[in-house]
Structure 1
């Protein structure tokens, strides 16, 4: 069973050329670093587990790797970050309200139905 789960996990990793695309400047490394920094602030503010931070970054990387460039993202980056955090918090014992995931310099305030 574990072998099957590990094999399935490989299907959900970022694309193989993901790091290479950052090195070639196809993707904005500074924007990714800023996004991760913001997600870490939200994680600390809400006392979320380290697994939540890990999962939210993993979801972000998986999403970004599926696009040709960050300019091709059809939604604001902040909405993507809140959505990644929201999904990751499902692993928490107590899921914080979506409004608590939009702190620390958030430029927009998204309603739950938007997220």
Structure 2
């Protein structure tokens, strides 16, 4: 077991063994914030005063990506359309070149 100081339901610090008893080193007001905790408890853990239990800090939630605004959606659509036109244009150019080669007998 170890002694920890809790404020706002969060373990703020681990009290070193040499600083015990806490009330003699720090005074009654500070000692009132201290609790015995299992050895695995670390700074940042949550403390439930109603049950006297400790829990690791909650995993941070992944940020939700911001929704695309109308301009960005339009820009993406235009970029996709431009790529399609370029792909089709290249295919058309290749088809014309093949046709010309066939018609001219390779004299292109």
Task: Please say which structure displays the higher CA radius of gyration.
Answer: 2
Q: What is the TM-score of this pair, normalised by structure 1?
A: 0.21
Structure with the higher strand share, 1 or 2: 2
Structure with the higher helix share, 1 or 2: 1
User: Relative contact order (alpha carbons < 8 A, sep ≥ 6): 1 or 2 greater?
Assistant: 1
